[in-house]
A = this chain, B = another copy of it.
Amino acid sequence: MQRMFNLNQQELPTRWYNVQADLDRPLDPPLDPRTREPLSPEALTALFAKTCVEQEVSTDRFIDIPLAVQETYRLWRPTPLYRATHLERALDTPAHIYYKYEGASPTGSHKTNTAVPQAYYNKVEGTKRLTTETGAGQWGSALAFACQALGIDLTVFMVKISYQQKPYRKAMIELYGGKILASPSERTNTGREILKENPDSPGSLGMAISEAIEEAMTTGAKYSLGSVLNHVLLHQTVIGQESLSQMEIAGEYPDVVVGCVGGGSNFGGLMLPILYDAKNRGRKVKFVATEPTACPTITKGEVRYDFGDEAEMTPLLRMHTLGHKFVPPPIHAGGLRYHGMAPIITRLVEDGVIEPRAYDQVDVFSDAVIFARTEGIIPAPETAHAVHAAMELARECARKDEKQVILIGFSGHGHFDMSAYSAYLAGQLVRTS
């Protein structure tokens, strides 16, 4: 049976889909962190590439992908769509399970889809250097790859505990030519102040964001963010567009689309073009966003204006949030640690378009092991949340003897997360819920 659906490179999407053209009311604007007044797009260009800021507020339905970005996408895109025939057999389910495999990218996740255009727009606007933060390293390595491909320098502030515990992601960032600093660092005022108070601070994503922003503001560099923002979700829509073409080759249409959400960009990139397409066809599709019970941003958070970082340097966004001081329990191994959510995802949850579900890491890893043992590919812990949700839906189909077509957003592979699997297999992962 055919289980791999490839597009050829002539079928690579040439434009991104912008959901802001199809929202029934505009998104609430970001607010200035000091005045709490709506922030003008111009103010954002101090931090971000001008074109990215334009895309942040654009209501054009389609935005052309620059040729140079398409050419870099062609290093790995279109990514494969697989039908999980071996998993279906193991679950003895009438459901048809498909997964769109973003692990095929050079750095192993969907993050490169936005890293490349962000590096490109900065390059053509004359930026010589970007700064960013990274936690586990997926975003840092993607942006390092993109900056190398487009010819621009990069400084990454990597959360110190990850810097020490994830030497392979650090090596990957350096292999792609990125400069990397353990955060908190001696490089910034923020870092020095934290270190003065606590020389052994393990760091946090909030601290690293603050350092990356300070570094950009004080050195004439620009800053780059790997999720949450509208233009990031826009860039990710190549995933959903390709998936639609591939599902058509497979001769099916998804009844359910499942993805994991940290900041919301991989799920947004998959589901937004399908939402648009389904509306045009008059089809009903269920969209399921999955998150850890250890960081239940949508299922337990509230919707309000909040900061993107712990140090209150970013603009305020109206979004689901657990509060910008939130840190998941240390035992949590499954990624998706961000306290906030993409405003686009928040809106679609409020509108009842997206259904959120939270899962405990023990259940998530348990199903990830079944997935790896049947399909071969090892899911990243983040991705495993979507895999688990899809498997639960497929089991329900088996109980009801109902065929459903389930499409998983498979955001990345777990080659750099094997220590989490080791911990699970050794029985060291406990329930957090």
Binding site for B on A (CB under 8 A): 1-4, 6, 8-10, 71, 74-76, 86, 104-108, 145, 148-149, 167-168, 170-172, 174-177, 369, 372-378, 415-416, 418-419, 421-422, 425
Contact = CB atoms under 8 A, between A and B. Distances in A.
Contacts of A422: 167, 170-171, 174
Q: In the complex this chain forms, how many copies of it are found?
A: 2
A27 to B, nearest CB: 33
Contact of A418 (B2, B105, B171, B374): B171
Given A9-B3, A86-B75, A175 B421 contact: yes
A266 to B, nearest CB: 19
B369 A175 contact: yes
A168 B417 CA distance: 8
Given A378-B172, A378-B175, A74 B3 contact: yes
A229 to B, nearest CB: 24
A4 B421 contact: no
A171 B422 CA distance: 5
B9 A8 contact: no
Nearest to A104: B104
A76 to B, nearest CB: 6
A148 B2 contact: no
B171 A377 contact: no
A78 to B, nearest CB: 8
Contacts of A176: 372-373
A421 B169 CA distance: 11
Nearest to A105: B376
Nearest to A376: B106
Nearest to A170: B422
A75 B425 contact: no
A172 B418 contact: yes
A420 to B, nearest CB: 9
A76 B376 contact: yes
A107 B418 CA distance: 13
Contacts of A374: 149
Which 7 pairs between the two chains have the least Cβ-Cβ distance?
A106-B376, A168-B418, A415-B415, A6-B6, A171-B418, A171-B422, A75-B376
